Structure 1
Amino acid sequence: MGALIGAGTDWRIAHAVHASRPTADHPSGRIVLTTRPELYAGTGVDPIDPGKIS
Structure 2
Amino acid sequence: MAALLIVLLLALLLFGLGFALKILWWVAVIVLVVWLIGFIARTTDAGGSRSRWYRW
Confirm or deny a common fold (TM above 0.5): no
Structure number having the greater helix percentage:
2
> If the length of structure 2 is used for normalisation, what is the TM-score?
0.28
Structure with higher Rg: it is 2
> If the length of structure 1 is used for normalisation, what is the TM-score?
0.29
